[in-house]
Every structure is written in C-alpha cells, then in structure tokens.
Amino acid sequence: MADKAKQSTLQVVIENKYLVMLVNGSLWELPESEIKAIEETLVKFRIIIAAAFRMHDEELKVRRDINGADHLNSLEYFRKPRESKGNTLLDDLQM
C-alpha cells in the first residue's frame, strides 16, 4: 500500500465524519481504543477551531481600531471582549 499523504486534523474530522458520529451517538458503539483515538483527534480539532476564533476576534478588533468602532457592525466577536470591573489594584492603593 502506498504511503498516504498525511492529512490535517480538519480533513480527518470531516472525511471520517467524527462530529456526525459524536452528535448522533454512533461513536459510543465503537471499541474503546477507537473512541480514544477519535477523542484525541477531536481535542486537536477543538484547539484549531479555538485558534481560528481568536484570529477572527483579533482581526475584527484591529479593523475596528483602524476604521472606527462602527466598522463591520454586522459582525460580532466569537468571544465578547472582557470589560473592566472598575475596581483595580490601583484603586485599592490610592490614599
């Protein structure tokens, strides 16, 4: 058998339909070793998706910093930017 080119995690998840298996429950009918291998692949997939979300949020923030806060109004951050609680260490140290 010829060596198959190494597939990316994203390709493996899509081609093997791991998310479909997870949602419809057919994943749990597999042997434990296969479930463990799929779980490891899905963890890598989650890390990749989280990085993509962070990149989107950072780029949106940069675009809004450059073009104004009302730029690309129809787009939202995947993660809402944190807001200051108002009470900081500096406030506690003021005399």
- Decide if pLDDT at 91 tops 90: no
Whether residue 67 is contained in a domain is answered as yes
Report how far apart, in Å, the C-alpha atoms of 27 and of each of 8, 13, 37, 47, 49 are: 21, 13, 11, 20, 21
Highest mean pLDDT among 11-15, 61-65, 68-72, 86-90: 11-15
Residue-range definition of the domain harbouring residue 19: 9-80
Task: Assign 3-class secondary structure to 27-45.
Answer: HHHCCHHHHHHHHHHHHHH
- Per the structure, how many domains does the chain have? 1
Whether residue 89 is contained in a domain is answered as no
Whether residue 13 is contained in a domain is answered as yes
Whether residue 92 is contained in a domain is answered as no
pTM of the full structure: 0.66
